[in-house]
Structures are given as structure tokens and as C-alpha cells.
Structure 1
Amino acid sequence: MRQATAARFFKAFSLKTIAAGLIAAVMSLAPTAATAADSRYAAIVVDANTGKTLFSANSNSRRYPASLTKMMTLYLTFEAMKQGRIKKSTPVRFSSQAAAQPPTKLGVKAGKSISVETAIYSLITRSANDSAEALAELLGGSEAGFARMMTSKARALGMEGTVFRNPHGLPNTAQFTTARDMATLGMALREHFPQYYSYFSVRSFTYGKQRIANHNRLLGKIKGVDGIKTGYTRASGFNLVSSVSDGNRRIVAVVMGGQSAASRDRQMAGLIEEYLPKASSRKGGPLVANANNSTIMDVAKAILSKKKAPTPQARPDDDQDAEVAAFVERTEEGRPATKAAAKIAAAETTATAVVEEAYATPRPSVDVDTLKTASVEPSGWVIQVASSPSKAEAAKALEAAARKAPQVLAAASSYTVPYDKDGVTYHRARFAGFDTKAAAWKACSQLKKKDMGCYAVQN
């Protein structure tokens, strides 16, 4: 009797245990399955020693970067530090635009300053949008100028599927990337700036009386994780780039489009657990080309030649020198140490939109806005002040330019022209009516002094 009772007990116990185990297994897989089912989901794991892709899901599909954008803001900050253009102690002044950025933010008032190092810590831990904007204005003169620098640097690093429009990742439908490009950027940050990379592993820092914790919850919880960045907007979902090492093995993993921070972190933990042991323990050479010494003109020429399109025309020397002087004046504490360095920085600030244009397929039709009259795309020299997937936004850019610089554009005719890139239609906002190259460059120089993006091209 006792034996029968014991047999029934252990049988029931065994079934309950098995059932519980199956339920637990299903529950553990549920976040991963749900994340993968989300249309925003993308992921990649790359062996950071060899460059081999160990896992990939939608890794080349276009996604919104959200605050992963700040990885490029930090890349350009580290680059400026390495080149001696700024120091850790250099003041970063907050304009009214920087101070007005929405949370998350550090909360610095307009007109006040913090050090470059404090700005770096605030980007890495709190993901401060106001600090990102202030750094952009310090290094690029304006948000638009810095965004062009970001995009050109992305191209130089081999990030073919990325376009930046702002330094912080706040919603902008024209700003996009891929999981693969974010992995490339993650590897580039470690390879090119090992002297600064330890910033990414800081778990908290003190600002005034505040102790600000790092948003990256995997630091200290998953063995080997040493950074890099989290990100979230409603459109992007929950994003994370992680760098992980175990002895001589190293991977960079990216998860984008998570449904929650917790599910994203679980997905990342699962990828690390599965693929870090499969990474090579042998170190190869550098995996990401170091583009520190290349100017945007070099990049533009390389890309445009592949597209069989004309390279950008060089500006007259007097206009070039004027632009360099304007750039040096704008950047104040962050100005380049030499005129040669200033020319490189000015070129990055003013001409990087050419790179983005190289990836576009022009359309034959022309949409003319209502400010002036033009029935076909004008021939001769024109200037471009914006490019947007929204025709209405492109028209607003024309109106804003006309209001800010009425004398410069008094005799010009404004129009928009569509073009296709990666299946998306964009609209160039342009002004025509410049007789010579010198006149077009001069107009652009004057517009840039009013913090408007601009470059000249000959139709």
C-alpha cells in the first residue's frame, strides 16, 4: 500500500516538475520570440577580432537609431580631443536651443557651461540631449553643420546605411541607420579611441549634488560587458549596443526594436551567452578604417566617382579663407590649432551633404514651390539649403532662408526638386539665379553666417 502511494506521489511529482520546467522554458523564450516578431526588430553579433558575423537578423534593414546616435556624437568628440582641438576641460556653452532640448537632459541653463568631460559623462550615463546639442554646436557650429559632419564620418567608417540629422537621436524621420552600421561604429569607438573608451564602462557620475546612474543595466550584471549605449524612442523601440570581452574573445552585439528595456536586455544577454564562446580568440588587424586624416572632400570624391557623378567644385580661395575664418570664430574654445586644420573642419561642416547626394537617384520631374517661378530645373549655379522627405518641410526651409537672408536671396528663384534614395523620395530645397561659381559660394558663405546649412552645385 505504501509502495503504491509512494509510486503515485513520485509520478505526480515528476509530471508536475516536467510541466513546470516546460512552462519555464517557454516563458524564458517568450521575450525573444516577441521581440523578433516586432517589425522594428533587428540584431547582429560581430566577432570584434575577425569581423565575422556570428548572428544576424534584419541587420541591414533601416531602423531609427534613437540615442544610439550619441555614439557618433561621442566619436567626433573623441576625435577632436585626440587631434588637440578641444580638451577635457574645454568649456561647452549651452545656447538657448541646447538648453531647450527635451528630456532626458542634464538641465544646464542657457548661457552656462560645463566641461567637455562632464558632457561626455552625461551622454554616456543619462543620455543627455541638451549636452549632445551643446557639443554639436561647439564642434560643428550648428546642429545642421554637425549632422553633416556625422554623416560624412559615417560614410568614411563604412556605415553605408546611415544618415544623421541631429546629435542626440530625438525623432526625425530622415535620420536612420542599421544594426550592422551601429556594430561598425561600436567597434570603431574602441579601435580608434582606446584612451577614451573606458568612459563607456562608468556606472555613474556625480554632477553637482546629483548621482546619475548609467542607463545601461547590463554593466556589472553580465560578465565582460564594458559598454556601450542604450536608446529609445516610440518609433525605434528599445535599442542597445554592447561590447563584451572574455579573455581574448570579444564581440559587439546590437539589439534594436525591443518591446521593453527588460526584454531588450534579456535578448542581449541571450546573444552574449550563445555567441561569445563562438568568437575567435585570435586578434586580427583593425576592422574599421581609421578616417581621422580624411576630409569630407576626399570622401565625397571617392563615393561620387563610383556613381559617375561630378565631384564638388572647389570654391575660390577668398571664399574658402572666409569660411575658415568664420568657422574658427564660431568654434571659439574648440577651434582648430592651425589654418590647415581649420580648413579640414570647415570642409566637414559645409560640404558633407554632397556625400548623401551621391547615394541618391535623381528624378527627372521638378516640383516648383510657390515663392518664385521656375517651370524646369534651372541651369547654371544653384544653392541648396535643405533636403527632406517632406515636400512641405522643404518649402518651409526655403521660406525660412528667404526670411533670414532677404538681401542675399532677393534675386534668387526658389524651388524644390524630388529625388529617390533607397526607395524613399526626398525633396531638395534650392535657390537658383547665380551667374557664377563665386556668386553661389559667396551666397552660401553668408547664409552659413546666419546658421543655415548651404552648399553650391552646378546643374
Structure 2
Amino acid sequence: MRQAFAGFAFRHVVLVRTAIAALIAVSMSVAAAGSAAADSNDAAIVIDANTGKTLFSSNADSRRYPASLTKMMTLYLTFEALANGKISKQTQVPFSANAAAEPPTKLGVKAGKSISVETAIYSLVTKSANDASTALGELLAGSEERFARMMTAKARSLGMKSTVFRNAHGLPNTAQFTTARDMATLGIALREHYPQYYGYFSTRSFTYGSRRIANHNRLLGRIKGVDGIKTGYTRASGFNLVSSVSDGNRRVVAVVMGGSSGAARDNYMASLLKKYVPSASSRGKSEPLIASAGGSPINALTKVILPKRNAPTPDVRPDAEVVVAMDAKAPRAPIPAPASEAPVIQAYAGPTPRPQVGLEAATPQAEGDVDPVSTASVASGWVVQIASSPSRAEAEAFLSKASQQAPAVLADASGFTVEFRKGGVTYHRARFGGFNSKSAAWDACSALKKKKISCYAVQN
């Protein structure tokens, strides 16, 4: 009797322990999967840019706040004006009091001063500068309100049926919304319609005056083939990202909107790209997926607003590190307002975009409301150098490999390259910036050495 009871008890204990172990294993598996997955309310889409086929979709047609993804349309209209010869890369962009007063992230150009169009482009693709976005909108349309109407009309002509723009930068506005599908459409259109300017999106960093400004897109150099496009964040939108990938003949555009953190968004995007890029078509397309919008009413509007100039020469892909002069020229006379405005696109009734934290950020005043991402231009100036090579591509490969080998150490760092000459040969230093102090840079280097990555900390 005792032996039978003991046997039963033993079997019972074994079964309980087995069940507990199984539950632990399942919970660990779920946790691991969750680290690269999105919240069920987040929006995401992956599109084969060769065929237009949707490879993955989750809430892709649900309305979301675009945040700084808005600047993709600001840049599209800027590229359109460049391609049509309405402006050149050297055209001065005056900063009105309205533009200069935009909250961070911003370049900090004072009212009455100006920068070149190209400097403004670099500031949008790297720093996501709100003041430069507004200044570009005012240059192209005479006022930001009129520019927002141009943006919305252009969105309609590109097939973006669920997008309304209210400003040039993406600062919170409850009447401004989009969808992941529409943002993917815009990402594809940027590459297809303006390939001569698309290389701007892969700029790792640029120097403005004495400041080195790194790109907010941390997947550049981390994921093979990623060549842009744009990050975005406000408290109401969560963390957004549009990524473009070129892998051989495969072309993919992916969108993630509403991430709970920058790292969660980036990890989710990385998991989507890893899974779906290999299944994309390797056959090149015979014609563009997104019809050109050159014949829309907006084209006529820009002809009225902007005087004709000589067409610019074809652009080349910009270097990873760009140095621009700090312009401080007096602005030229403002462009006269057009006789007629762009067609007004009314917002239609329906659910508002899903807030991530709350709508209290609809009119932000604090710097923390927008793009809270450290860059290589932080005040400390301390960086970690891991390599030097006569080949820029090799230097960038070192950065990419280090990011993959030590993701935790370099999670908040930004990779960039710096040229220098020695013995008549141009070399490229591979460096990581974004450290808040000398000790932070030294600690990061010590951690990298433990990963067998040679390095040293130096003040940039």
C-alpha cells in the first residue's frame, strides 16, 4: 500500500515538474518572440517593390499619425521642384519667424537667415529638422498651410487615398493622418520618380558648421541592403520607420508604425526584412509601380509659384559623410503667392489615428515630444574609432560588423566615417558617436574590446 502510494506520488511530482518546465519553456519562447514582434495594435506592411505584391500586412490600412514620416512628402515635392528646374541645390531657403520658432528637433537657424536647398535636404534626412521642413514648405508654396494642401493633393495623385497632411514636418496635429500602406506607396514613389536624388536617404551623417549630425535611422549599416528611408516619433504616434532594401535585384519597402520604443521598432523591422526579403522577386520591373504625378494640378501650381530656372545637372549618390558650409546669407525676396491655391482635400469622417500615449502631445512645446534620438553631435564630442581604411565601403563594413557583433554596446551610438589624408592617400575613419561623456566613450570601447573589436576613444 505504502509502495503504491509512493509510486503514485512520485509519478505525480514528475508530471507536475514536467508541466511546469513546459510552461516555462513556452513563456520563454513567447518572450523571445515578443522581442522582435509588434503590439497587436501596431501597423506594418512589407511590399515587393519589383512587383507591388504585399508580402506582409498588419493593420496596414488603419489610420496612424505620420510624425516625421511627413518629411518624406516634403522631400518628394522638393525633389520634384529640383527635377523641374524650379529651384537648384544652391537656391537659398529663407527662415521666417514661423520656421525659426518650430520646436526641436531643429537646425536652429535664426529668423532672417537662410541655408541652401541641399543643406535643408541633408538636415531632413539626418536630423529630421522641423525648422528646415517648414522653411522648405514656405519656399515652395508661399505658406506652410498652402504647402500642406499641395502635399495632400500630391498624395492623392500618387494613390495615397488615406492620407491628409496639415504641416510640412509631422509635429502633432489631430487632423493629420496616414496609413502604413500609404507610406509604403510614398517610399516606392520616391525611388522610382527621383532616383537621381534618392541617394540622399543613405547619408550617414553630415557636418553643419561645427556640428556633426548623424542619421536617426539606425538600420543603416546594421541590416544588409538598407538604403533609407525615414524615422519618425511623437508621443501620440509612437515610433515609426519606413525602410527600403536593395539586395541584388530584390527591392523591398517596409513600414512599421506605432512602436513602443526605438529599439522595439527597429527589431521588429529587422525581423520583417530578414523573413520577407528572401521571398521577394528578383526579376526587375518593366515599368514603375507608382504612376508619375507630373500631370496633376500641383505641377501647374508650382509653375505659378516658382520662377523658371535652368535645370540642375544630374545628381550623384552622396557620400556617407557630408560637410556643408553654414549659410547665413540674407534671404531673397519671398516668392509671391499664387493667384489660385491647390485644390482643398477635405478630411473625411472616421476613426482618428491610434495614439500610443495620449493626445496631450497634439501641440508640443517640449523637446521630448519629438524625435528624442541622440546623434553624433552631442556636446561631449567623444567618439569611438574602430578602424581606418582607404576604402569608404570597407570602413562602413567595419561599422556594420561591429553593430552586429555588439548591438547592446552600440544601441545608442551612431556610426559614421571621416576622411583624412596621409602620404597623399585618402583614408576613412570608422567611428561611433553619440556618447554623452568621455567616460561613456571609454566604457563603450572597453566593452567592445571584450568582444574582440579593436578600438580607442578620442575627442572628435
TM alignment of 1:334-345, pairs within 5 A: 334-337=306-309
Q: Which amino acid aligns with 2:155?
A: A
Q: Hey, what does 1:8 align to over in structure 2?
A: none
Output the CA distance in 1 between the equivalents of 2:302 and 2:255: 39
The corresponding residue for 1:29 is 33
Q: Secondary structure of the equivalent of 2:341?
A: helix
Q: What is the SS of the residue equivalent to 1:184?
A: helix
Could you say which residue in structure 2 is the equivalent of 1:391?
A: none
What is the CA distance between 1:294 and its match in structure 2?
2.4
Paired residues for 1:110-259 under 5 Å: 110-259=111-260
Aligned to 1:377: none
Quick one: structure 1 residues 102 and 280, their matched pair in 2 at CA, closer, same or farther if it must change by over 3 Å?
A: same
Tell me the alpha carbon deviations over residues 138-192 of structure 1, each in whole angstroms, 9 at most, x when there is no partner. Answer: 0010010000000000000000000000000000000000000000000000000
Is the Cα–Cα contact under 8 Å of residues 87 and 309 in structure 2 kept in the other structure? no
CA 1:24 to 1:209, structure 2 compared with 1: closer, same or farther past 3 Å?
farther
Deviations 1:98-132 (A, max 9, x none): 00000000000000110000000000000000000
1:29 positional shift: 1.3
1:245 Cα offset (Å): 1.3
Distance in 2 separating the partners of 1:82 and 1:324: 12
Alignment of 1:8-407 (within 5 A): 25-33=29-37, 35-37=38-40, 39=41, 41-284=42-285, 285-296=287-298, 328=305, 334-337=306-309, 346=338, 350-353=341-344, 356-357=345-346, 360=348
Residue pair 2:237, 2:257 contacting (<8 A) in 1 also: yes
Checking the alignment, whether the CA contact within 8 Å between 1:93 and 1:112 is kept in structure 2 is yes
Q: CA offsets, 1:184-219, max 9 Å, x none?
A: 000000000000000000110000000000000000
- Say which structure, 1 or 2, has more relative contact order (CA 8 Å, 6+ apart): 2
User: Structure 2 regions of 5+ residues with no counterpart?
Assistant: 1-20, 311-336, 350-460
How far the C-alpha of 1:283 sits from its partner, in A, is: 1.7
Query: What SS is found at the alignment partner of 2:89?
Result: coil
What's the CA shift string for 1:434-459, capped at 9, x where partnerless?
A: xxxxxxxxxxxxxxxxxxxxxxxxxx
Give the 3-state SS of the residue equivalent to 1:350 in structure 2.
Answer: coil
Deviation at 1:23, TM superposition (A): 6.7
Quick check: 2:141–2:302 contact (8 Å CA) kept in 1?
Answer: no
How has the CA–CA distance of structure 1 residues 297 and 105 changed in structure 2, closer, same or farther, with 3 Å as cutoff?
closer
1:295 to partner: Cα distance: 1.7
5 Å matches for 1:428-439?
A: none
State the percentage of identical aligned residues. 68
For 2:121 and 2:22, locate their aligned partners in 1 and report how far apart those are by CA, in whole Å.
50
Give TM-score scaled by structure 1 length.
0.62
Larger helix fraction of residues: 1
Q: Structure 1 residue 22: deviation in Å? A: 6.6
Structure 2: distance between partners of 1:96 and 1:280 = 49
- For the residues of structure 1 that align with 2:61 and 2:214, how far apart are their CA atoms? 32
Decide whether aligned partners of structure 1 residues 198 and 232 sit closer, same or farther in structure 2, where only a CA change above 3 A counts: same
**How many residues align structurally?**
304
Determine the structure 2 residue equivalent to 1:320: none
Question: Given that residues 205 and 212 in structure 1 are in contact (C-alpha distance below 8 angstroms), is that contact kept between their aligned partners in structure 2?
Answer: yes
8 Å CA contact retained: 1:297, 1:351: no
Name the residue aligned to 1:409.
none
- Residue pair 1:74, 1:120 contacting (<8 A) in 2 also: yes
Query: Any idea what SS the aligned residue of 1:256 has?
Result: strand
Per-residue CA shift, 1:244-269, capped at 9, x if unaligned?
Answer: 01101110000000000000000000
Cα offset, 1:351, TM superposition: 2.9
* Structure 1 residue 62, shift from structure 2 partner: 0.7
Q: Distance in 2 between matches of 1:336 and 1:24?
A: 63
CA RMSD of aligned residues (A): 2.7
Matched residues in 1 for 2:269 and 2:233: separation? 15
Normalising by structure 2, what TM-score?
0.62
Provide the C-alpha distance between the structure 2 equivalents of 1:169 and 1:127, rounded to a whole number of angstroms.
10
Q: 1:151–1:352: 8 Å Cα contact kept in structure 2? A: no
Q: CA deviation at 1:36?
A: 2.3
